[in-house]
Structure 1
């Protein structure tokens, strides 16, 4: 797809979103060839991207929440964050999508449908915990809305954890480290975790 046609579709989709569907038109990019396309920062929420070819596409800080990406090929796509913003994939349909080798560091995959999706190595979505937990590319761990490199999680001070979500975060933190250890191997823990006062009831 050429850049002019893509821009027109994106512009119409923006009108569709801002008018709550009363004007413009929902982006229909199903089966579109978007290889290496620059979609950084694009708002494609609720767009139809079924079976789209997004190999090596730049999707940094793109909004793909609620988009239908079922069967799409996102191998080698870049979904990293920039300036603390994220690639938003919340509630996106990624069933049967190819995400192998995609850079998902900092991407928000909460409530995304990942059934039969081909995920990058060492990428896990963990259910049933106090917070939604996602490990991406074996490097970044998202717990709730907090996303940090694994090394940072292992070194946070008690004060830093408390600032994230108060006593709830303090109580969950040892469990989060257990989850990280289980999926990525045992690593260091801050000394304050072993202090009696660290065990928050």
Structure 2
């Protein structure tokens, strides 16, 4: 894919995202060869990147919230230090700079994730988020080290 075509797709996708799908076009970069592409600061929120070759791509500060990265090749991609992309979970999870954790479209500091109230988690995606939350904390613990958990997680609810 040439740079001009890629820039047009990214620009149209940016319009699509900012107008909530009323204008522009959702980026379909499925199986695209984006090897060594400069995608720094690109808004790829919700883009289809399944099977894309992102090897060596510069993804610093790119917004990949909700992007479908199944099967994408991220080997050698320029991600900030302590950055991880975890796929195969109910939400795409990215950890950036060992500090920010994005699960789905929610992006917060890891210490904030560890201290959210039950109501705050429920507001993110209802019961689904409440069920996923302990697993998300397990993932954060694995990549960033064991940390505190909110007390409400250990309280059993009566039915």
Q: Report the TM-score range of the alignment, normalised by the length of the smaller protein.
A: 0.5 to 0.7
Deviations 1:65-122 (A, max 9, x none): 33446123438x345xxxxxxx22522335213337x234x54262132342423322
Partner of 1:66: 28
Partner of 1:91: 48
How many residue pairs match? The answer is 139
**CA separation in 1, counterparts of 2:91 and 2:55?**
25
Partner of 1:110: 67
Q: Unaligned regions of 5+ residues in structure 1, if any? A: 1-26, 35-41, 46-62, 80-86
Where 1:147 maps in the other structure, the secondary structure is strand
Q: Unaligned regions of 5+ residues in structure 2, if any? A: 14-24
**Map 1:145-156 → 2, pairs under 5 A:** 145-156=105-116
Report the Cα offset of residue 64 of structure 1: 8.4
Give the stretch that moved more between structures: 131-140 or 182-191: 131-140
**CA separation in 1, counterparts of 2:73 and 2:53?**
5
Q: Which has the larger radius of gyration?
A: 1
Report the Cα offset of residue 172 of structure 1: 1.1
Greater fraction of residues in helix: 2
Q: Residue 29 and residue 129 in structure 1: after superposition, are their counterparts in 2 closer, same or farther (change >3 A)?
A: closer
Where 2:57 maps in the other structure, the secondary structure is coil
Where 1:141 maps in the other structure, the secondary structure is strand
Q: Residue 183 and residue 161 in structure 1: after superposition, are their counterparts in 2 closer, same or farther (change >3 A)?
A: same
**CA separation in 1, counterparts of 2:26 and 2:37?**
14
Partner of 1:136: 96
Q: Is the 8 A contact 2:94 2:101 kept in 1?
A: yes
TM-score by length of 1: 0.55
TM-score by length of 2: 0.67
Report the Cα offset of residue 126 of structure 1: 1.5
Where 2:157 maps in the other structure, the secondary structure is helix
